[in-house]
Chains A and B, each alone.
Chain A
Amino acid sequence: MQQLSTFKGGLKLDGHKKMSTSAAISKIPLAEKLVIPVQQHIGLEPDIIVNVGDKVLKGQLIAKASADISANIHASSSGTVIAIDKQDVPHPSALPATCITIETDGKDQWIERQPVKDDYKNKTCVELLTIIREAGIVGLGGATFPTSAKLQGCDQKHIETLIINGAECEPYISCDDKLMQERADEVILGTQVLQHLLSSKQTVIAVEDNKPEAIASLNSSLSKLGINNIDVAVIPTRYPTGGEKQLIKVITNKEVPTKGRPADIGILCQNVATASSIYRAVYHDEPIISRLVTVTGEAVNNPENVEALIGTPMSTLIEQCGGYKNNVGGLIMGGPMMGFALPSDELPITKACNCLLTQTTEQLQLPSSKACIRCGECAEVCPANLLPQQLYWYSSSKNFDRAQDLHLFDCIECGCCSYVCPSHIPLVQYYRFAKTEIWAQEKDKAKSDIARQRHEFREARIAREKAEREEKLRQKKEILAKKKAAEAGKADPVDPKKAAIEAALARVKAKKQASDVEPKNTDNLTEQQLEKIRQADARRKQADKPATTEDDKK
């Protein structure tokens, strides 16, 4: 095991993890109705392949990945599809989204399964990726990026180091901790599948040093299984050491380039829960239909970790944990640093839901924000080595170009800057605002670029067609003129009458031009003077008319 490194910034936070780790993982009883959102991952929405009224079995595919970056969705239990419609889902936007509602039949009957088990060692990379893809596995650390997409092409990319992320640095959350404590074998066997898939030279399971039981459990499991090519790295507890880039820095002392991916420097990270899901897919042919959820916080009676089927209402989990205390004020999905507040607990558990954090009414009383005093505390703690204070300045004044110069998009929204800000400015919110504004602008720009290209093409086409028409016309005229000239050579060349008329017209024209010369010094004239000029003009016209007619007669 090489020497551990460190990353700049970060915070020492109170863990609050002990409160939820004393009890063993308990299973949530089967709910009568499971509401399964179709979109539970980053990427495109999968295509629904069931209809209302269909009978489904546990583990049956109900929505199929529609693209590379998309994920399969499965029925979490057996029953009947009773609705496919828009419902409230746990999402920061709080907008309703398409869900498949299953009325469970209580039998919890599995679909037929054909696990490959240890035979995976004989499977090709593509075959294994298909298994992972079929099982609807997404990154369970919180980002829910489709795992098969993350692993795609990794057999060619030369992954030196595989890091299994068991850091779990966010306060309160302990589901990964409990998973490693109680199901270390699953994590390790899942890790071995990844190891085989990537043929990585070095494999490390990284765990923060505030989880001694998990570390002990992993180590004993490794020695029990007789595995010696996986290391357990005990890393210092510091938020956000579980961030992918930060963890890579700690383990390998390498920095992922700002616009790059870990694979670019030969590293791949997967969460421990993702590894365990891969184990279940390979050894039990079991897709993601459940997950561990930490139900915790100061406003729930018995904080603990539970295993809940995807689609179970959150309120069921809260009840299982003894219900709310009287002073409950809010509910957060995820941790206190990066989670988001939920409008209600009548929402389904999704693949992304690692923690339900209850908050007391007192905890909701956050101090109001004041003016920035540029103290720079935010820059001290920023793990991305940015200047949060200046980013805030440029984001709030909508100077997005300068914000991007200061690497706005390297912000991982960990919340350290907001946490330490003595003026209590919701800094991260400003960065989210700036990022979405920039994305919107880029979308608009892309649209207008296309429109401009089309417009320019149309203009060019019209001009070309016009030129072609004119060319044709010219050619026709030339032919006509040649014909005429040929005919004229035979006929009388000059008509004397016509010539006389033309000469007369030319004379008139010359005379008119002479009379059209404007008199000078006519500015600022009095009304009487103007009247005189008008009269004179009228006279002149009168005089002109008979003259021209006489001229014509001549």
Chain B
Amino acid sequence: MKFNTPDISQASSPHVLRHDGVNQVMLQVLLALIPGIAAMFYFFGWGVLFNLLIASTVALFTEAVIIKMRKRPVADNLTDLSALVTACLLALALPPLAPWWLTVIATLFAMILGKHLYGGLGFNPFNPAMVGYVVVMISFPREMTFWLLPSTVNPASLNLNETFNLMFFSQLPAAMTWDSISSATLLDGLKTHLTQDQLLSTAASSDALSSLFGTLAGLGWEWINLLFLAGGLWLFYKRVIDWRIPAGVLTSLLVISSIFYLIDNELYLSPLTHLLSGGIMLAAFFIATDPVSASTTPRGRLIYGAGIGVLIFIIRQWGGYPDGIAFAVLLMNMAAPLIDYYTVPAAFGQKDKQKT
């Protein structure tokens, strides 16, 4: 009996493959985001979902158009779900009441500049979501501060309709002003006080900030971070992400913030505030772990993660922005090839060579 000689990729071993592909990886990432998204929805309302919706739609549309222009199979590329992951990470980083066009611009930049100009999935040196975020962060600093008071302390929470009108038509509900609903985040507020040479204890007891403190860190944020942490641990359990990058980010941030906190707790935030404020868990487990733009060697991933943690601390403490995740990630993206070059592990049978 003769057999059809299979094409070259099948004639060669191995002849069995594990069947979960890139789309399963991405799907698990999306699933793991759900608890954190739920917490953000609880504290910041409908705007979170609108952001997700706008970013996802734009991302999928852009991806489809560009794939079509590049004459690649559209369905194959859309179903790998990578565009959705980028969109979700970006949307969760944006303020919940950001005007619709801000999200659109950020997503377009993420997909076109961050991803496809470099060759699409697998070829982008920078994390696309963070590219999009940084573009709007620099271009529209005012809109980027439209954060809300967490719902638990916000006297005037917006319903679905009001959020829609605000985001799409910039119409505030009657008898409401921006000041009455929006608020600086805890990190932002503390930073403002610190730049005015105030001590942390005075800043924390000030009217504007005292209500932003929760039991562990920023009110609401502590829960959001804990739930993203839970999702991240699930990803680790499912072996979707490597433990090294999150461990690197969190350990380095913990260590460096503890050192400075011990030096002077009136000038430097506590390690707990650092670890549970802003988007730190989202960054550590979901953004920094984007494998395409991260380091790939085992030791390299620890270094890469640690670099992000240190940079976040530096930017938070001394930089011009309240949170520095996006810049920290992009800077370490740049360093990833170099890190990889110098952290090639010893091959099997090279142990002795390493010792000498």
Q: Which residues of A contact B (CB under 8 A)?
A: 7-8, 13, 92, 94, 171, 245, 249, 255-258, 260, 315, 318, 324, 328-332, 334, 336-346, 357, 359, 363-364, 366-376, 379-380, 383-387, 389-390, 405-407, 410, 413, 415, 418-424, 426, 428-429, 432
Given A387-B345, A426-B12, A428-B13, residue A370 in contact with residue B22 (CB < 8 A): yes
Instruction: Count contacts on B: residues with CB < 8 A to the other chain.
Output: 49
Residues of A within 8 A of B345 (CB): 385, 387
Residues from chain A with Cβ under 8 Å of B80 in the complex? 370
Q: Output the least CB separation between B348 and chain A (Å).
A: 4
Min Cβ gap A236→B in Å is 18
Within 206-240 of B, Cβ neighbours of A (below 8 Å) are at: none
List B contacts of A328 (CB < 8 A). Answer: 1
A7 nearest in chain B by CB position: B348
From B14, B123, B294, A337 is in contact (CB under 8 Å) with B14
- Cβ of B71 within 8 Å of any chain A Cβ, yes or no, is no
Contacting pair A336 B13 (CB below 8 A): yes
- Answer whether residue B151 sits at the interface, using C-beta atoms and an 8 A cutoff: no
Q: Does B3 contact A (CB under 8 A)?
A: yes
Q: How far is the CA of A368 from the CA of B158 in the complex (A)?
A: 48
**Across-interface contacts of A337 in B (CB, < 8 A):** 13-16
The answer to whether A341 and B3 have CB atoms under 8 Å apart is: yes
Q: Which of A260, A315, A376, A390 contacts B349 (CB 8 A)?
A: A260
A420–B20 CA distance with the chains assembled, in angstroms: 8
> Helix, strand, loop or mixed for chain B's interface?
loop
In the docked arrangement, what's the CA distance between A369 and B80, Å?
Answer: 12
In the complex, how many angstroms separate the beta carbon of B52 from the nearest chain A beta carbon?
22
A346 — which chain B residues lie within 8 A by C-beta? 1-2
Mind listing 21 A-B residue pairs with CB under 8 Å?
A255-B349, A255-B351, A256-B349, A257-B352, A257-B353, A332-B15, A336-B13, A336-B14, A337-B15, A340-B12, A341-B3, A341-B10, A343-B2, A371-B120, A376-B291, A379-B297, A386-B347, A387-B296, A415-B13, A418-B13, A422-B24
- Inter-subunit contact B348/A379 (CB<8 Å): no
Q: For B9, give the chain A residue with the smallest CB separation.
A: A426
Q: Let me know if B17 and A387 touch, CB within 8 A.
A: no
A344 touches B349 (CB 8 A): no
**Does B19 sit at the interface, judged by CB under 8 A?**
yes
A373 touches B15 (CB 8 A): no
B76 at the interface (CB under 8 A from A): yes
For B340, what are the chain A residues with a Cβ–Cβ distance below 8 Å?
390
Question: Which B residue's beta carbon lies closest to that of A259?
Answer: B349
B14 touches A415 (CB 8 A): yes
Q: Are A258 and B349 in contact (CB under 8 A)?
A: yes
A370 in contact with B349 (CB, 8 Å): no
Cβ contact within 8 Å between B344 and A418: no
Bound-state CA distance A370–B2 (Å) is 30
CB distance from A338 to the nearest CB of B (A): 5
Tell me the minimal C-beta distance from A297 to chain B in angstroms: 10
Q: Is the CB of A370 within 8 A of B13?
A: no
Task: Quote the shortest CB–CB distance from A365 to chain B (angstroms).
Answer: 9
Say if the beta carbon of B177 comes within 8 Å of chain A: no
The residues of A that contact B22 with a CB separation of less than 8 Å are 370, 373, 422-423
Name the A residues within 8 Å of B121 (CB-CB).
370-371, 373
Which 3 A-B pairs rank lowest in CB-CB distance, beginning with the nearest?
A371-B122, A415-B14, A407-B347
